[in-house]
Structure 1
Amino acid sequence: MPTSLPPELYYLSNFRTVLAWLGERYADLLTAEEQTFISNFEVVEWRAQALLVRMIMRRGCHFRLSKLDYPEIGDCLFAAGPLLELGWVSEQMPLTAVEVAELLRKDELLAHLPLPDRRSSQKKTALLEQLLAQDLPAQPFSNWCPALNDRLLSLQIDELCNRLRLLFFGNLAQDWSEFVLADLGIYRYESVDITPESRGFRSRQDLEDYLHLRDLRVRFEAGEPVESVLPPLLAFSSANSYLRSRQSKQLFHLAQHLEKCGELEQALAVYQRSEYSEARWRQVRVLEQLGRDADAYQQALAFSALPKSDEECQRIGRALPRLQRKLGFPAERQPKPVEAACIELTLPMPAHGSVEVAVRDHISTEQTPVHYVENTLLCSLFGLLCWDAIFAPLPGAFFHPFHSGPVDLYSADFYSRRQQLFDACLARLQQPDYAQLIVQRYREKVGIQSPFVFWTLLDEPLLEMALHCIPAQHLQACFTRLLRDIKANRSGMPDLIQFYPAERRYRMIEVKGPGDRLQDNQKRWLAFAAEQGIPVEVCYVSWDAA
């Protein structure tokens, strides 16, 4: 078995890396079955290793031998020998009619399966209906197609490998293709010092709890009744904050479903059990729908005293005057937000259909260029300035080499855990060389995955223009607001930015086409910008009838 593998066996090298990583960091969490697999894999012949990894990384678990063609492996039947002996692969896996039909071409299905009507003009779906109508029992591939000169290899350790993948990545959203994309240079990741103690799961129970929550979510999304999914979700308990946050999000989505179905009392009870960011103001709305206006008012008052986010503050701020009117209370005067200036334009209907591009092209000049940036520019500037704080190797923030950002990015304590680091980054804006620092960071990190930097939309000339025209105090204000609620505040920023380089100033423009209205997150950004003295305008566009 070669220790240094040739380039064409990159996938086997990557899989070995995963197993070594798990052995170093998760040995105490591995089951006896998983430990036995890893130890047996290490000693099995390398061609068998390579074939197994190829099968693991492909979709599905059934593979016709004729479809397994890998020049670097050679004879795949020979390579499969040790896998069959170990029970990792089987040739005797019973297949249903649907499964065998998926493995066969239409002509093979006509030639080898028991069909009463073999007319070739029929679609494959009609042939499958014939099979299903016979209610044939599940049986091995060789029994279905005894005359077909082919064999079937069925992977038996798919679930085991999924558990290993979950341990490595900390989630099941990422898969083995992360290695391939990194090998090909399509994705590049920041190098973070990951200690052996930094793990996605602290106990085996954490892993089992993750799988339990995922199973409940999959069952609900597949259409299983709420009555069977909700009790175990409510009963779930964990000391792991990440898992509790997943539970809260699932409870919120279940409550939304109940609310849409008119099950308001049950929806309210589930919202009350969820700590998801939007659950509190939804409680107020459901209480209103139930006609319990006094309760809704008291709840809104309590939430308004300590709002959890700008979005909640905005929504509760709307609810309070409405509830006061319903209850006959004197309505408290709400401070009127500072409004952005308005522009009205009448433009020819563009061929491309993009109102933002139409406005950009209409007002842009060589001396005062306009860029369509939406949320990308300010987020990118923030990501570059605060790169070190974002990628700080805090415990539990990174636990494998393929993180595009910290795992706890959207957690409530993301900023507080890194406050000193972020404060130090923002303090650089008070230094005369902050622009050079950001440009240098751009050159050092260009192309590396980041949750904030939009490399495909950000080039160095745009970066330098922005740093030349946007004052440091405006950046400081925007970045501070972004840190208050990253998930909510990273969107809703104005569509366009116009630079006046000769005057070292700029303006941002939110564009609205005919019939389009400002969204809530856009209103919050516009109000914030106006309050901070950040030049922002709303452009309302109508199309020239001619």
Structure 2
Amino acid sequence: MLSLTALPDRPEAATLDNPLYYLENFRTVLLWVGARHADLLLECERQRLDAFWHLPEPSQALLVRMVMRKGERFRLGKLVYAEIGSSEAALQALVEGDWIDPDPQLSLDELFALLTRPELGLALGERIADAGLKKSLTKQALYEALSHDAPEPAPLSQWWPDSGDRVLALNDMALFERLRLMFFGNLRQGWSEFVLEQLGHQRYEQVPLSSDSRAFQQRTDVDAYLHLHQCRERLDGDEPPSAVWTDIPREANANPWLESRRGRLLYALGRMAERAGEPLLALEAWGASCHPEARLKQLRLMERRGEDANAWPLLQAALPEPRNAAEQQGLERLRKRLGKRLGHPVPPSPRARAIETIEIALPQPGHGSVELAVAEHFSDDSCELYYVENWLFNGLLALLCWPAFYTPLPGAFFHPFQGGPADLYRGDFLERRRALFDDSLKLLDSGEYRQQILDTWTRKAGISNPMLYWPLLPRELIERALDCIPPHHLRAVFERMLTDLREYRSGLPDLIQLWPDERRYRLIEVKGPGDRLQDHQRRWLGFMREQQMDVAVCHVKWSD
């Protein structure tokens, strides 16, 4: 039996040659959380986890198999694993230890989730006949017909006495979810991360993990995360927004990361409330949200409701400190409309720089990509065209500043399966690493940036990074781009992106046209028939023109 003192310096995935690889991975998480997060666990939770280590290995394996599957209720007949042997034998210790409920109550919903359509016909034959339903009804139609007068929950033995099977229910799923959250720092990632890494489908940067490398510093933060997650699941499960609203904390969370999650939840709730015909709830939710788009949504809804006079002071309060460039643009447009109707003086909007426009007619391509059709149209012996969208400048920034992105700051890296820092899109991301980014950007002045970028590409190619999409960044493209894009243009783009990576990592032009012999380039934003420029694209195009970068918009019509 493994001991909690056997903590590795770095959690590693078990080899897939081991039939019990999943159990070894689960044990690794238990060891890691037990050693680094014990202060965030209640005494009863620590005792429960200690009891896990005293289970027979087949029982541990069966329990972990269920934990790693979807849901909390399982048919014993489906739990067949060669490396475990008899599931019936492994089950005994789990039942005795109260890890498993061997005969749980099943609602009609749960019964339908566990049984196939033919099995439902056997289990519910009398009900189907009594309701006068056709035997040929689909599973969905049968559920809809029976759910209007759903019977009380009952064990499978009562629903279907002749099933010859049993249903098992996990009793400690909330604890296992808490463990997963404390290990990964989120609930997006799951146990499959270990397997993907072993299969080579994902590779991660090896960031040093110290004793302080953990996502949560206090239990209340874990509780708050789980509560917000449950509220979001309820909202996504079509529960009325008004019902979820009553359970969302009214006070802002002192933890910026958790407050950001609360802001996203309130923003989503406001959108659903508006669609559900509850505008007052939408206004209140957006007013309480720190989400970058919430305040503008609130003001626009007030405008649509004719509440210009009430919206004006909120607008004036928001204008001095816009949350991002998109909000600033939206607020200025709103000020122009409201000011005109209310009779308030409004300063004139700055005149946008003219962007070169190209209009071409092309035969509609068989591959269906308008961007590739434009690339083929402009290609000739003197230039090269690449479809890069947002990934070229994102990737060059990541390659140049790799050490800054992967410095092991507190709150950035918690486990070995992170593609990038957890605080990548937080407001203080740059400030916490400013000296490191400054050191990397200085290479653009000394001329050493090219070798730095290429060396990083060679050493790190294939490693997961949220700023990089490796298939669109072959080394040849990197070399050609660095030949043609002057360093002061790279610096201008990089510095703008770093002020708000969430805002500025998208909206960049689709294509880059390179003339290696002339050491020049052109960026091309492609718009197919019926398509138009989005605001974030216009902002990038305007900025690039201010920096005297060669950029154009190509409008395409199909000639056939």
Match of 1:9 among 4, 20, 44: 20
Tell me if 1:60 matches 2:85: no
Tell me if 1:93 matches 2:104: yes
Question: Which residue matches 2:59?
Answer: 48
Match of 2:44 among 20, 28, 33: 33
Tell me if 1:241 matches 2:256: yes
Structure 2 counterparts to residues 286-365 of structure 1, below 5 A: 286-293=301-308, 296-329=311-344, 331-365=346-380
CA RMSD of aligned residues (A): 2.6
Question: Which residue matches 1:173?
Answer: 188
3-state SS of the aligned residue for 2:359?
Answer: strand
Deviation at 1:359, TM superposition (A): 0.7
Tell me if 1:450 matches 2:461: no
What amino acid does structure 2 have at the position aligned with 1:32? E
Q: Distance in 2 between matches of 1:160 and 1:378?
A: 42
Match of 1:280 among 295, 300, 323: 295
Match of 1:431 among 443, 446, 453: 446
Decide whether the 8 Å contact of 2:266 with 2:289 is kept in 1. yes
Decide whether the 8 Å contact of 2:492 with 2:547 is kept in 1. yes
Decide whether the 8 Å contact of 2:512 with 2:521 is kept in 1. yes
Match of 1:483 among 493, 498, 506: 498
Deviation at 1:284, TM superposition (A): 3.8
Change (3 A) 1:117 1:320: closer
Decide whether the 8 Å contact of 1:339 with 1:526 is kept in 2. no
Q: Distance in 1 between matches of 2:461 and 2:392?
A: 15
Q: Distance in 2 between matches of 1:461 and 1:306?
A: 43
Question: Which residue matches 2:7?
Answer: none
Deviations 1:294-328 (A, max 9, x none): 55455444433333322122222323333343344
Decide whether the 8 Å contact of 2:214 with 2:414 is kept in 1. yes
Q: Distance in 2 between matches of 1:220 and 1:99?
A: 20
Between the aligned residues of both structures, percent identity stands at 45
Q: Which moved more, 1:20-29 or 1:110-119?
A: 110-119
Deviation at 1:230, TM superposition (A): 2.6
Q: Distance in 2 between matches of 1:253 and 1:133?
A: 30
Question: Which residue matches 1:73?
Answer: 84
Structure 2 counterparts to residues 524-535 of structure 1, below 5 A: 524-535=539-550
What amino acid does structure 2 have at the position aligned with 1:337? A
3-state SS of the aligned residue for 1:453?
Answer: coil
Deviations 1:161-206 (A, max 9, x none): 1121112122222211111111211111111112222321221111
Q: How many residues align?
A: 545
Tell me if 1:400 matches 2:415: yes
Question: Which residue matches 1:222?
Answer: 237
Deviations 1:54-75 (A, max 9, x none): 1111112233233222122222
Deviation at 1:285, TM superposition (A): 2.7
Decide whether the 8 Å contact of 2:2 with 2:53 is kept in 1. no
Deviation at 1:350, TM superposition (A): 1.9
Tell me if 1:18 matches 2:33: no
Decide whether the 8 Å contact of 2:528 with 2:556 is kept in 1. yes
> Which ranges in structure 1 are unaligned for 5 or more consecutive residues?
none
Change (3 A) 1:58 1:329: closer
Question: Which residue matches 1:197?
Answer: 212
Deviation at 1:417, TM superposition (A): 1.4
Q: Distance in 2 between matches of 1:102 and 1:263?
A: 33
Change (3 A) 1:248 1:113: closer
Q: Which moved more, 1:195-204 or 1:453-462?
A: 195-204
Q: Distance in 2 between matches of 1:402 and 1:520?
A: 35
Q: Which moved more, 1:10-19 or 1:86-95?
A: 86-95
3-state SS of the aligned residue for 2:74?
Answer: strand
Deviation at 1:101, TM superposition (A): 4.1
Deviations 1:473-492 (A, max 9, x none): 11111111101111111111
3-state SS of the aligned residue for 2:556?
Answer: strand
Deviation at 1:419, TM superposition (A): 1.2
What amino acid does structure 2 have at the position aligned with 1:160? L
Change (3 A) 1:75 1:499: same
Deviations 1:471-529 (A, max 9, x none): 11111111111011111111110111001000111100011122211100000000000
Q: Distance in 1 between matches of 2:529 and 2:24?
A: 56
What amino acid does structure 1 have at the position aligned with 2:547? Q
Q: Distance in 2 between matches of 1:53 and 1:104?
A: 23
Q: Distance in 2 between matches of 1:332 and 1:97?
A: 63
What amino acid does structure 1 have at the position aligned with 2:77? S
What amino acid does structure 1 have at the position aligned with 2:322? P
Q: Distance in 2 between matches of 1:282 and 1:133?
A: 38
Q: Distance in 1 between matches of 2:349 and 2:254?
A: 41
Change (3 A) 1:237 1:323: closer
Question: Which residue matches 2:171?
Answer: 156
Change (3 A) 1:22 1:350: same
Question: Which residue matches 1:517?
Answer: 532
Q: Distance in 2 between matches of 1:126 and 1:228?
A: 28
Tell me if 1:103 matches 2:127: no
Question: Which residue matches 1:496?
Answer: 511
Structure 2 counterparts to residues 139-154 of structure 1, below 5 A: 139-154=154-169
> Which ranges in structure 2 are unaligned for 5 or more consecutive residues?
4-13
Q: Distance in 1 between matches of 2:404 and 2:347?
A: 42
Match of 1:378 among 393, 397, 409: 393
Deviations 1:355-403 (A, max 9, x none): 2111111111243111111101111111111111111111111112222
Q: Scaled by the length of structure 1, what TM-score is found?
A: 0.92
Q: Which moved more, 1:52-61 or 1:289-298?
A: 289-298
Q: Which moved more, 1:47-56 or 1:233-242?
A: 233-242
Tell me if 1:188 matches 2:188: no
Match of 1:409 among 404, 408, 424: 424
Decide whether the 8 Å contact of 1:2 with 1:46 is kept in 2. no
Question: Which residue matches 2:11?
Answer: none
Decide whether the 8 Å contact of 1:344 with 1:540 is kept in 2. yes
